[in-house]
Amino acid sequence: MRAAPAPRLHLFVCANRREGSPLGPGCGEHGDALYDALKREVGARGEVAVTWVTKTACLGICPRRGATVARYPAAGPLGNAIVTEVEPSDAAALLAGAATGSDAAAPPPPSGEPSRADPARDALQDLRRELDALEELQRKKVLDLARRLKPGLTLEDVQNPHDFPELDDPDWHYADGVLAGIASVRSALAALERGNRSE
């Protein structure tokens, strides 16, 4: 195994197709159209070597329109690792800042003034913000999937799935399990932060 060169931006475009699922048809043709639009835009910008676009299967979010895209790294004008309801007309905006977004350096402290940054604390704060955003996104996904299976469910309802036989669905259980996993990571992070404060 060896390390390979990485792009400045890597976009993963969902083109997953489902048939006969109450969760919807997947990104399918919308993903294909978005993938083609992004490849054209990358080519027109001459950024093929530094901006990669990859077609993928399910990314875990099934939008009602457009497609879901995962960004790596997450830095950039959209500031999120996952964006959804992306249309081909959004290709230029999705690529905006690709050449600089992940390379932008923080401004140095004023001349003669020492840096007050605490890299460990800043990293934990960044991680907490990412987890907050990820949890909110996943909670919305769990509720959206539940409402496709049984319209009208509330967030409180889905916390008691045994009361609703319609939620006995593998895709919904998977999404709910991911949400539980995010909550576990948040708990572990909180314990780590408490330990750091007590030192």
pLDDT in tens, 165-196: 999 999 888 988 888 888 888 788 777 777 76
Better-scored residue on pLDDT, 9 or 115: 9
Considering the entire predicted model, what is its pTM?
0.51
| CATH of span 9-95 | 3.40.30.10
The pLDDT value recorded for residue 102 is 36
The pLDDT value recorded for residue 109 is 44
Please give the full DSSP string across 137-198, using - where no structure is assigned: HHHHHHHHHHHHHSTT--HHHHTSGGG-GGG--HHHHHHHHHHHHHHHHHHHHHHHHHHHHH
Q: Where are the domains of the chain?
A: 9-95, 119-198
The percentage of the chain sitting over the pLDDT mark of 70, rounded to a whole number, equals 81
Separation in Å, CA 174 to CA 33, 60, 86, 124, 146: 28, 9, 24, 27, 12
